[in-house]
């Protein structure tokens, strides 16, 4: 069996989206004749802890951990955070009125290049050389963020002569949270230099987003070196999850993951408020549920639109438990970061949402990477954050398809009037049998086109973690 040395900062018990990609590669690599060997950090600063993910680590996988000198404790003490408080992944994108946090972020942006994990480099390189001597890997694979992992891999590849694949879950210098940040010229130039030499020296470069290749990496290095390997879903994670098995009395829109200020869906909240004012929904019939941290700006928007009774909040859940919540959902909500470069952003949850079989309501760029995939697979619709009318109409469509009422009663009665005003049903006289048959057929077809939408199963299957690992192995063996 061939061996691959995988250098990653995020590894179980780390939770959150950063760990999934590398963990699933490691899980399926042995099926294709590759043994994963992991070089990671001891007691890293993770956005969440999820011990359940350790069940996915294959028994043949050897994991080596090293010390890392990081400024996390100093940052927390200086900015007034609790020692056990988690530092958000996109802390640099967060605005703060706290001068200490602003100063700490400036120091990170201008002095810790390329990121705050650079104190791991000497320890990881020293350990990596010992691993290479003992294990004799056939290839090195590093996955960022943080970009520090690529600097470690570069040193080890140069020292050993082993081929190296650099994997990018996000852009490096072109990442969205650097937009409008106060970085000095020297910091930008040094960061760009580090990125340039990594892209130059890596034998292959893999990226989750095709647009990241086209609009970023392919302009900085040989395009032939770049390959698109998206994130995906693991079929095993859905073994006990059967879409539609549990039908809630409520119409539930579900969002899994953190909602930062740059993903605040204000116009969605306004649409919910309008539906409530029109008496189309009530707190007893409709809920939008968030699993994970929700930024204060989004909470303020919910309050200002007076829709608090329609919103549920659940703190961070282990990955398996979060996926289980999809059984109760009617629609999955996907929020793409609002930024200048958001066309290229491809959230990891996109693919697990697709696998649930539930329709996806995505807010973001209508000509971006997510929109393309939703169109190709038939799994959902992308609407611009600012298209308040379209958001309202889509919600109304979802609700009408799920809750459409057929009744027998005088057509000029109060019940008929309410159904007509809210567009949630139609009333028939008792003798209108053929008309009723026709309406049932029409609603059945609407349901087939709507919440039980026609999707491209073959296209979805391309994003299974097993298939994606097979694609990675093809890169290894070229």
pLDDT per position as a tens digit, 18-53: 899 999 999 999 999 999 999 999 988 888 889 999
Q: What is the pTM of this model?
A: 0.84
What are the backbone angles phi and psi of residue 388, rounded to the nearest 5°? Answer: -60, -40
Q: Give burial (CB, 10 Å; 0-12/13-18/19+) of 330.
A: buried
Name 207's bridge partners.
168, 228
**pLDDT for 192:** 96
Joined together, the tokens standing for residue 331 give 């629609």
What is the residue-wise DSSP string for 253-282?
EEEES-B-GGG--HHHHHHHHHHHHTTS--
Distance in angstroms (rounded) separating the CA atoms of residues 153 and 159: 10
Structure tokens at 394: 């889509």
pLDDT at 407 over 60: no
**More confident position, 74 or 59:** 59
| Residue 444 clears pLDDT 70, i.e. is over it | no
Instruction: Tell the residue number behind the tokens 């802390």, with chain if given.
Output: 91
> In this structure, are residues 165 and 202 in contact, taking their beta carbons and an 8 Å threshold?
yes
CA 133 to chain CA centroid, nearest Å = 37
**Which segment of 226-240, 241-255, 258-272 scores lowest on mean pLDDT?**
241-255
pLDDT band at 400 (very low <50, low <70, confident <90, very high): confident
Sign of the Cα pseudo-torsion (18, 464, 329, 399, in order): positive
pLDDT in tens, 132-174: 999 999 999 999 999 999 999 999 999 999 999 999 999 999 9
Nearest to 137 by CA among 219, 209, 70, 39: 39
Residue 90: per-residue pLDDT: 55
Angle at which helix 148-160 crosses helix 121-135, to 10 degrees, equals 40
Is pLDDT at 408 greater than 60 in this prediction?
no
Residue 273 to residue 269: CA distance in whole angstroms: 6
Pick the range with the lowest mean pLDDT from 56-70, 179-193, 258-272: 179-193
User: What are 206's strand-pairing partners?
Assistant: 167, 227
Domains (range + CATH), the chain: 2-232+465-476 (3.40.50.2000), 239-399+457-461 (3.40.50.2000), 401-449 (no CATH)
β partners of residue 164: 140
Rounded average pLDDT over 1-22: 94
242 or 210: which leads in pLDDT: 210
* Predicted confidence (pLDDT) per residue in 314-370, tens digit: 988 999 899 999 988 999 999 999 988 889 999 999 999 999 989 999 999 999 999
Task: State the chain's mean pLDDT as an integer.
Answer: 86
**Residue among 9, 1, 25 at smallest CA distance from 473:** 25
DSSP string, 98-138: -HHHHHHHHHHHHHSSS-TTGGGHHHHHHHHHHHHHHH--S
Regarding beta strands 425-428 and 62-66, do their DSSP bridges make them parallel or antiparallel, or are they unpaired?
A: unpaired
The strand pairing partners of 380, in sequence order, are 360
Half-sphere exposure of 424 (CA within 13 A, CB side): 18
Residue burial 155-191, b: 16+ Cβ < 10 Å; e: rest? bbbeebebbbbbbbbbbbbbbbbbeeeebeeebbeeb
> Cα–Cα distance between 381 and 376 in angstroms, integer?
11
Contact between residue 314 and residue 289 where contact means Cβ atoms under 8 Å apart:
yes
C-beta neighbour count of 334 within 10 angstroms: 24
Mean per-residue pLDDT, 383-389: 93
């Amino acid at each position: 069996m061939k061996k691959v040395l995988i250098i990653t900062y995020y590894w179980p018990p780390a939770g959150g989206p950063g760990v999934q990609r590398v963990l699933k590669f490691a899980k399926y690599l042995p099926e294709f004749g590759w043994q994963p060997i992991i070089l990671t950090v001891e007691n890293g600063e993770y956005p969440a802890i999820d011990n359940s993910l350790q069940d996915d680590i294959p028994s043949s996988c050897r994991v080596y951990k090293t010390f890392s000198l990081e400024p996390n404790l100093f940052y927390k003490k200086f900015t007034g955070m609790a020692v056990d408080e988690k530092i958000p992944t996109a802390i640099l994108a967060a605005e703060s009125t706290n001068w200490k946090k602003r100063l700490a972020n400036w120091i990170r942006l201008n002095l810790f290049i390329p990121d705050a994990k650079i104190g791991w480099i000497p320890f990881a390189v020293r350990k990596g050389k010992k691993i290479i001597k003992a294990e004799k890997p056939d290839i090195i694979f590093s996955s960022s963020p943080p970009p520090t992992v690529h600097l470690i891999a570069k040193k080890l590849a140069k020292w050993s002569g082993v081929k190296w694949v650099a994997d990018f879950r996000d852009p490096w210098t072109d990442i969205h949270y650097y937009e409008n940040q106060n970085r000095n010229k020297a910091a930008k130039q040094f960061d760009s230099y580090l990125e340039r030499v990594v892209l130059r020296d890596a034998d292959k470069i893999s990226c989750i987003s095709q647009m990241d290749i086209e609009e970023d990496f392919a302009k900085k290095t040989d395009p032939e070196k770049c390959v698109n390997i998206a994130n995906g879903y693991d079929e095993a994670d859905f073994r006990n999850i059967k879409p539609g098995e549990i039908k809630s009395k409520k119409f539930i829109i579900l969002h899994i993951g953190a909602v930062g200020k740059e993903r605040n869906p204000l116009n969605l909240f306004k649409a919910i408020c309008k539906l409530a004012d029109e008496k189309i929904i009530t707190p007893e019939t409709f809920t939008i549920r968030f699993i994970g941290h929700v930024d204060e700006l989004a909470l303020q928007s919910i309050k200002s639109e007076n829709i608090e009774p329609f919103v549920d909040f659940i703190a961070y859940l282990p990955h398996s438990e979060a996926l289980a919540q999809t059984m109760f959902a009617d629609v999955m909500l996907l929020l793409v970061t609002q930024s200048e470069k958001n066309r290229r952003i491809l959230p990891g949850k996109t693919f697990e949402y697709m696998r649930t079989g539930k329709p996806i309501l995505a807010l973001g760029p209508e000509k971006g990477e997510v929109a393309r995939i939703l169109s190709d697979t038939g799994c959902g619709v992308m609407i611009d954050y600012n298209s308040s009318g379209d958001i309202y109409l889509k919600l109304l469509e979802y609700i009408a398809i799920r809750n459409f009422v057929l009744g027998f009663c005088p057509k000029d009665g109060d019940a008929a009037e309410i159904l007509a005003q809210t567009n949630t049903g139609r009333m028939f006289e008792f003798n209108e049998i053929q008309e009723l048959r026709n309406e049932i057929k029409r609603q059945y077809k609407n349901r087939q086109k709507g919440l039980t939408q026609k999707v491209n199963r073959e296209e979805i299957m391309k994003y299974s973690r097993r298939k994606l690992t097979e694609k990675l192995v093809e890169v290894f063996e070229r």
